Amino acid sequence: MRTARLIVAGYGKIGKAFISTLEGKASRLRDLGYDLKVVAVCEKAGSVVDADGIDLKRLLDGKVRWGKAKTLDVIRDVDADIVLELTPGNVNTGEPGLGHIRAALNGGRHVVTSNKSPLVLDYAGLDGLAGKRGVKLKIEATVGGAIPVINTCLNELKCNGIRNIYGILNGTTNYILSKMAEEGVDFQSALAEAQSLGLAEPDPSYDIEGVDTAAKVVILANAVLEGNVKLRDIRVEGIDSVTAEAVELAKEHGFVVKLVGDVAGRRVGPRLVPVDHPLNVSGSLNAILVETDVAGDITLTGAGAGPRETSSALLGDVLEVLDAVRAS
């Protein structure tokens, strides 16, 4: 049995979905030889700690008592192997996730995260710290939700030279642009519909101005193409100036307009994509094309966000950490 004690920092949409997936997959995980115990769950206001393992069903049903311990103290003091860092991101400061990840790595705990901001601000520092402490920093869930793009590049494609990675890395903007192309509506009506469906935040600027896509480009550049790229190095243009007329004209000529993040080109912006191109995916899907020297082009498509879908990437990373520890 490969065993691990987990701390879950951030019990919002992703944190709850991760716990729910863990609970739902308990018997499959046991069959596969993994024994995962959640010893702490932290919210901004306090934490639940149980060294014997929290009863996940009772937690999900809201039947456990929350204490006052702060996340950083729990990460430092509670005996655990892996910290899941699932708090909200702030691309200007990286906090609170940056502090949580540094504390976890410094304490010799592996980290699995869905939080882009700490990586956007200091990927090299965090990766270096993980190496120095002999622990893993796993980040699959930060890019493309359920799509296993980072691990595919670093594991299955590791004998390849990866020339570029580009594609649709944000579901909200893809939903808006798909709606405009398919129904001829203008940007504002498509955005309003995305908001009414909960696909776009009340303040959608981070998505529509291309910042979210640029953050993912920075992560892919540093983690896969081994650059030392900062957010300021990316030329970013959003989709707010894309008009219904431009979308219609593109369609007449056999193209769709997509917000494309181009890692080697260090660029994010609306691009014309041929209708029969693999990147032409509809709705809130993401599609990521990896250009390699041996395997050729590989396109990965799937849910680019969503709590349950993203929990697949998180759980996959947890299991990879355990496999790596066992192999070492």
Ligand X SMILES: NC(=O)c1ccc[n+]([C@@H]2O[C@H](COP(=O)([O-])OP(=O)(O)OC[C@H]3O[C@@H](n4cnc5c(N)ncnc54)[C@H](OP(=O)(O)O)[C@@H]3O)[C@@H](O)[C@H]2O)c1
Of the ranges 81-89, 152-160, 162-170, 199-207, which one interacts with ligand X (CB under 6 A)?
A: 81-89
Of 310, 312, 317, 322, which one interacts with ligand X (CB under 6 A)? Answer: 310
Least distance in Å: CB of 60 to ligand X? 14
Nearer to ligand X, 269 or 307 (CB): 307
Active site (annotated) includes residue 63: no
Of the ranges 37-45, 57-65, 162-170, 226-234, which one interacts with ligand X (CB under 6 A)?
A: 37-45
Q: Which amino acid does the sequence have at 141?
A: A
| Extended beta strands in the chain, E state | 2-9, 34-42, 47-49, 82-85, 110-113, 137-138, 162-168, 235-236, 255-262, 267-274, 285-292, 297-303
Of the ranges 114-122, 124-132, 180-188, 238-246, which one interacts with ligand X (CB under 6 A)?
A: 114-122
Of 44, 58, 76, 163, which one interacts with ligand X (CB under 6 A)? Answer: 44
Q: How far apart are CA 85 and CA 99, in angstroms?
A: 10
Q: How far apart are CA 240 and CA 245, in angstroms?
A: 13
Residue 319: its H or E element: helix 307-327
Q: How far apart are CA 314 and CA 111, in angstroms?
A: 10
| Residue 324 φ/ψ region, left for φ over 0, alpha for ψ in the -120 to 50 degree band, beta for the rest | alpha
What is the footprint of ligand X within residues 267-306 (CB under 6 A)? 305-306
Of 114, 170, 173, 174, which one interacts with ligand X (CB under 6 A)? Answer: 114
* Inter-residue contact 28 to 38 (CB < 8 Å): no
- 261 touching ligand X, by CB under 6 A: no
Of the ranges 87-95, 174-182, 229-237, 260-268, which one interacts with ligand X (CB under 6 A)?
A: 87-95
Least distance in Å: CB of 307 to ligand X? 5
What is the footprint of ligand X within residues 125-144 (CB under 6 A)? 141
Backbone phi, psi, residue 85, to 5°? -100, 105
Residue 127: its H or E element: helix 116-133
Nearer to ligand X, 73 or 183 (CB): 73
What is the footprint of ligand X within residues 51-80 (CB under 6 A)? 71
- 12 touching ligand X, by CB under 6 A: yes
What is the DSSP pairing of strand 235-236 with strand 162-168? unpaired
Least distance in Å: CB of 303 to ligand X? 9
* Inter-residue contact 71 to 42 (CB < 8 Å): yes
Q: Which of 216, 230, 251, 258 is catalytic?
A: 216
- 187 touching ligand X, by CB under 6 A: no
- Strand, coil or helix: what is 166? strand
Residues in the chain: 328
- 14 touching ligand X, by CB under 6 A: yes
Least distance in Å: CB of 279 to ligand X? 20
Tell me the residue nearest to ligand X as measured from the CB: 12
What is the DSSP pairing of strand 255-262 with strand 162-168? antiparallel
| Beta bridge pairs of residue 285 | 303
- 9 touching ligand X, by CB under 6 A: yes
Residues making contact with ligand X (CB under 6 A): 9-15, 42-44, 71, 86-89, 96, 114-116, 141, 145, 305-307, 310
Residues with catalytic function: 216
